[in-house]
Amino acid sequence: MLKELGLKTIDELFTDIPEKVKFKGKLNIPGPFSEVEVKRRIAKLLEKNVSSMDIPTFLGAGVWPHYVPAVVDTIIGRAEFLTSYTPYQAEVSQGILQAQFEYQSMICELTGMDVANASMYDWATSLGEAALMAARLTKKTEFIIPYFIHPERKAVLKLMSEPAKMKIIEVKQDKETGQINLEDLKTKISKNTAGIYIENPSYLGFLEEKVKEIGEIAHENGALYIVGVDPTSLGLLKAPADYGADIVVGEGQPLGNSMNYGGPLLGIFACKEEFVRQMPGRIIGLTTTKKQNQRAFCMALQTREQYIRREKATSSICTNEALCAVAAAVYLSLLGPRGLKRLGEIIMTKAIYAMKKLKEIPGVKVPLFKASHFKEFTVNFDETGKTVLEVHKKLLKEGVHGGKIIKNEFPELGETALYCVTEVHLKEDVDKLVNSLKKVLEV
């Protein structure tokens, strides 16, 4: 091949790199290793981890343990999906295009929205994009969020909205019930409010009841209503569209995607049809072919996207989480409406069983808020005389990983952790948690 290029050595292919910038040394990187060596090395390192399959683990808070049916991995492991690129050539990419269209459609069915995009990086970045989209649509710059929001989501929102000079305002939540304080909301909303954002279920696991009223307050003031959801709750809970949401965001990881130490995740983003031109991200559309007028799929509304609109694009997102979206479509197809509803009931059954059992332990307060809870709930240790960190460390010694310590996030909640129970938790896991806690607390 060199000869055909009229060259003698490989080095001649790099004569355009000036000597001054040529890297003369050798990269300080181990290897090359054989396949067997790489496999053993990585297996050995990963073996050091103790996963939620090894010990009962009660963590949620943004990434949740759910069972991934074998079918999901079989499908997304298919090389034609796994090793394909963004479907720029629609005619040879109908498979992934249709699968993503189906994902979008299923998210629309869950949320009641008309349009969903083909995915964002995660819930946090979906929220950031939703705030920017609300600002573009309303030409306003204030954005109201609940006080009890995931601190990482809040941080990402603040980062993403700061260059657009947006102001993030927190609305109070009732100490007893966790519910959004409507009076406070009314004082904080103004003619400058681009959007009100709520989460249902909330970060701390309780359900927000006045969802319709909050939406009305938003709309009366010319603001958009943005709702954040855990999709596993939507077999049981109302679609956000039914209580007035304009944009729905959320985390799709629970739908057939493993936790993988926090990534990849799957940012859900859906909205009403009227807002679609300001939507960020890739959208797949159903159309026809030119000659035979057959059904076909392709990327739609590309003039919103960075590679066409450049600095005027609605977002910079390009590579998204397409394969995670396909996993979600496969997962939702397997469950169907009845399966999704049953999933919600099973999760709630197990979570409520855990809450009731934990409640029996003297000094343990579960949950802190008088409200319905879905799969997460607060566990408070104030009256046990032990700090939540002490409890956590001792539980670990018993072979149980407790919930996420939230003491530093919300100090007023005291010695509190956020626990999560889903369909993957066996009764024995919860019983072990309860018995270990009793031992740790010496009761």
Partner 1 sequence: MSFRQARWNEPLIFERSKPGKIGFTLPEPTKEEKEVAGNVVDSIPKSLLREKPPELPEVSEVEVVRHYTRLSQQNYGVDLGIYPLGSCTMKYTPKITDVVVNTHKLRDLHPYQDEELTQGILQILYELSNYFAEILGMDKVSLQPSAGAHGEYVGVMIMRAYHALNGELDKRTEIIVPDSAHGTNPANTTMAGFKTVVVPSAEDGTVDLKALKTVVSEHTAGLMLTNPNTLGVFENNILEIAEVIHGVGGLVYYDGANLNAILGKARPGDMGFDIAHINTHKTFSTPHGGGGPGAGPVGVKKELEKFLPVPTIEFDGKRYYLDYNRPYSIGKIRGFYGNIAVLVRAYAYILLMGAEGLERVAELSVLNANYVIRKVLKARGYTLPYKSENLRKHEGVISAKQMMDETGVRALNVSKMLLDLGVHAPTNYFPLIVPEALMIEPTETESKETLDELINAFIKVSEEAYSNPKVVLEAPVNTTVDMVDDVKASHPKTMRLSWRMLKKYGEAK
Site for partner 1 in 22-81 (CB under 8 A): 22-23, 26-33, 35, 37-39, 41-43, 45-54, 57, 59, 61-63, 65, 67-69, 71, 74-81
Residue closer to partner 1, measured from CB, 79 or 191: 79
Identify the sign of the CA torsion 354, 357, 361, 367: positive
Nearest approach in angstroms of CB 338 to partner 1 is: 6
d(CA 220, CA 239): 21
Query: Is the separation of the CB atoms in 201 and 376 below 8 Å?
Result: yes
Nearest approach in angstroms of CB 362 to partner 1 is: 18
Task: Return the range that interacts with partner 1 (CB under 8 A); candidates 151-159, 168-176, 361-369, 380-388.
Answer: 151-159
From residue 64, how far is each of 59, 234, 339, 395 by CA, in Å? 7, 16, 18, 20
Task: Return the range that interacts with partner 1 (CB under 8 A); candidates 138-146, 190-198, 221-229, 310-318.
Answer: 310-318
Does 168 participate in binding partner 1 (rule CB under 8 A)?
no
Does 263 participate in binding partner 1 (rule CB under 8 A)?
yes
- Within 123-142, the residues that bind partner 1 by CB under 8 A are 123-125
Does 105 participate in binding partner 1 (rule CB under 8 A)?
yes
- Within 220-239, the residues that bind partner 1 by CB under 8 A are 234-239
Nearest approach in angstroms of CB 224 to partner 1 is: 19
Does 357 participate in binding partner 1 (rule CB under 8 A)?
yes
Task: Return the range that interacts with partner 1 (CB under 8 A); candidates 187-195, 202-210, 215-223, 433-441.
Answer: 202-210
- Buried/exposed code over 291-305 (b: 16+ C-beta within 10 A; e: otherwise): eeeeebbbbbbeebb
Residue closer to partner 1, measured from CB, 195 or 267: 267
Does 122 participate in binding partner 1 (rule CB under 8 A)?
yes
d(CA 237, CA 112): 12
Does 278 participate in binding partner 1 (rule CB under 8 A)?
no
Matching residue, tokens 């004569």:
15
Concatenated DSSP letters for 339-375? HHHHHHHHHHHHHHHHHHHHHTSTT-B--SSSS-BSS
Residue closer to partner 1, measured from CB, 195 or 240: 240
Instruction: Give the count of alpha carbons within 13 A of 401, CB side only.
Output: 15
d(CA 281, CA 115): 12
DSSP state of 58: -
